[in-house]
Amino acid sequence: MWITLLTAVAESALEQLLNKEPALAVQLAATQHKTLAVTLTDLELCCALHYVGEQQGKARCFVYGNYQDQADCHITTTLSTLQELSDPSQLTRLIREEKLDLEGDLQLAQSYSKAFAGLNIDWAEHLSNHLGDAPAQLLVAQCERAKQRGASHLGILKRTVTQLCQDELNVAVHPLEVRQFKTHTRQLAQQLAALEQRINALSEL
Amino acid sequence: MVADVFHSVAAKYDVMNDLMSFGIHRLWKRQTIACSGVRQGHKVLDLAGGTGDLTAKFSELVGESGQVILGDINDSMLRVGRDKLRDLGRVGNIEYVQMNAEALPFPDNSLDVITIAFGLRNVTDKDKALRSMYRVLKPGGRLLVLEFSKTDNEALSKLYDFYSFNILPTMGKLVANDSESYRYLAESIRMHPDQETLKSMMEEAGFEQASYQNLTGGIVALHRGFKF
Ligand SMILES: C[S@@+](CC[C@H](N)C(=O)[O-])C[C@H]1O[C@@H](n2cnc3c(N)ncnc32)[C@H](O)[C@@H]1O
């Protein structure tokens, strides 16, 4: 039931987007009345998207959860690989590397990927309808700055972690060294056992 | 009796539906659409369709080349449904037909999908209705039955009983000024066959690959069967 609720939320968000960004609806015109299903193997979930075009001047689509029917295009992949699809040129590479399985109409997947990749939402314009021009501009500018700051912090964090790992690698014992050490210890133990046997034999004389 | 009930509740049906189920009936119907496999060009029957919630969605999915028939035995419900859908601008691919589920007025093998949402429990001869649905479906077609069912969660079951026989009729009285009809609705839910029994009834009528999924802990179940 939660999946159904989530798909309802996703559907309504997507419809709002389609109606606010007419360019997206134009890009998706070729996908009208076709179903794109995506199975995410890590989440054991199959969702589907069905764009039906404009109805009474409004763009309409259906988002299904737990989809079980035949789709025009069916992608099977993982959540992380799906994120890479935001770059449409990666599709064929991902298929070649067997990170993604595609059954059916390749063009349908490409159309969706291209339509969403080319999306450039003018948040200030949309928000100004609710907040007024100046507060909307201010809010978007703040968010943009926060995003940049976030990205720069993330960059620093990534660099620090990489550096730490490299430093650790420099001082850590290599697995080959461990194996060599084990072999030496084993040889030493054998020599000791042999020596013990000889001492025992000599002391019995 | 059934006819009187639906004549009497027709005008307030949608408001009561949202109130009584706290809006959850919309999610149950969403799941029915997701499992329907309805596509462009399909011919779909929304049987016992009442005020046409499912019809509205199907009319978008089948497009101009398809057709949806809103079928109901009760002309008051049909009229409310027709007015609502026309106000929503849904015209062109919807037909409104008064019909009895026990004797569907269609030729053999003529429909792609039939749905019956919260309607089968009101049908007197359910086996006859299921056979009639099987007859009019095309090979490859499917039937979806969305209906109240039995929950095996004891706590939920008790809560649900209290709600159905105490709160529901009171709500019916306050909002629709008609506690009797809502008492009948609660009783008809109790009389309806449980999940396994309905599945067997569908198989008996000829449906293949009959299966069901429980929604909201089994308070409602969605049954699906195919004709091959
Ligand atoms: C609870 S309403 C359901 C309406 C709608 N499907 C929904 O889910 O909102 C039940 C409907 O079944 C209809 N009905 C009852 N017996 C019927 C029969 N034998 N044939 C066709 N419709 C019937 C009633 O008139 C009523 O509109």
Ligand 1: nearest atom to the Cα of B6 = 25
CA of B73 to the centre of ligand 1 (A): 7
Question: Which residue type, as a one-letter code, is found at position B173?
Answer: K
Model confidence band, residue B175 (pLDDT cutoffs 50, 70, 90): confident
| Ligand 1 contact, B77 CB (< 6 A) | yes
Domain residues for the domain of A129 are 124-203
Model confidence band, residue B61 (pLDDT cutoffs 50, 70, 90): very high
| Count of domains forming chain A | 2
CB A91 within 8 A of CB A113: yes
Pair A94, A141 in one domain: no
Pair A11, A87 in one domain: yes
CB A28 within 8 A of CB A114: no
Mean pLDDT of B212-225: 95
Q: Among A34-38, B164-168, B212-216, which stretch is predicted with the lowest mean pLDDT?
A: B164-168
- Domain end, chosen from A121, A140, A167, is at A121
Q: What angle do CA A62, A67, A69 make, to 5 degrees?
A: 100
Pair A107, A130 in one domain: no
> Cα dihedral angle (A31, A120, A9, A101), rounded to 10 degrees?
50
Model confidence, pTM: 0.80
Mean pLDDT of B173-177: 78
- CB count, 10 Å around CB of B172? 25
Ligand 1: nearest atom to the Cα of B17 = 9
Q: For an interface test with B, give the residue of A4, A5, A61 to mutate (most B CBs within 10 A).
A: A4
Q: How far apart are CA A38 and CA A77, in angstroms?
A: 8
CB A146 within 8 A of CB A115: no
CB B26 within 8 A of CB A18: no
Q: How far apart are CA A82 and CA A84, in angstroms?
A: 5
Model confidence band, residue B102 (pLDDT cutoffs 50, 70, 90): very high
pLDDT confidence of residue A78: 93
The burial class, CB within 10 Å (0-12 / 13-18 / 19+), for A126 is middle
Pair A59, A89 in one domain: yes
The residue of chain B nearest to residue A6, with distances taken between CA atoms, is: B27
CB burial string A26-56: b at 16+ within 10 A, e below: ebbeebebbbbbbbbeeeeebbbbbbbbeee
| Ligand 1 contact, B147 CB (< 6 A) | no
What is the percent of chain B with per-residue pLDDT over 70, rounded to a whole number? 98
What's A116's domain CATH number?
Answer: 3.30.1050.10
pLDDT confidence of residue A121: 66
Q: What is the pLDDT of residues B63-97, one digit of tens each?
A: 999 999 999 999 999 999 999 999 988 888 999 99
pLDDT confidence of residue B2: 65
On the question of pLDDT at B122 being above 80, the answer is: yes
CA of B94 to the centre of ligand 1 (A): 17
Q: How far apart are CA A103 and CA A125, in angstroms?
A: 39
Q: Among A89-103, A187-201, B4-18, B201-215, which stretch is predicted with the lowest mean pLDDT?
A: B4-18
Pair A189, A147 in one domain: yes
Pair A10, A84 in one domain: yes
Across chain B, mean pLDDT equals 91
pLDDT confidence of residue B3: 67
Q: What angle do CA B56, B60, B63 make, to 5 degrees?
A: 135
Pair A137, A152 in one domain: yes
pLDDT confidence of residue B174: 82
Q: Cβ B39–A33 below 8 Å, yes or no?
A: yes
Closest CA to A47 of B21, B34, B155: B34
CB B54 within 8 A of CB A27: no
Of A4, A60, A69, the CB nearest to B31: A4
On the question of pLDDT at B1 being above 60, the answer is: no
Candidate of B45, B51, B73, B184 to mutate for ligand 1, largest count of ligand atoms within 8 Å of Cβ = B73
Higher pLDDT, A204 or B147: B147
DSSP at B92: S
Q: How many CA atoms lie within 13 A of A178 on its CB side?
A: 4
- Domain end, chosen from A80, A102, A121, is at A121
Pair A115, A174 in one domain: no
**Residues in chain A, pLDDT under 50:** none
Give residue B30's Cα distance to chain centre.
Answer: 13
Pair A193, A99 in one domain: no
ipTM summary value: 0.80
Higher pLDDT, B201 or B183: B201
For chain A, the C-alpha Rg in angstroms (whole number) is 30
Pair A90, A171 in one domain: no
pLDDT confidence of residue B108: 98
Pair A54, A117 in one domain: yes
Of B35, B39, B57, the CB nearest to A68: B35
Is B86 in the A-facing interface, judged by CB distances under 8 Å?
no
Pair A132, A115 in one domain: no
Q: What is the pLDDT of residues B124-134, one digit of tens each?
A: 999 999 999 99
Q: How many CA atoms lie within 13 A of A202 on its CB side?
A: 6
- Domain end, chosen from A103, A121, A139, is at A121
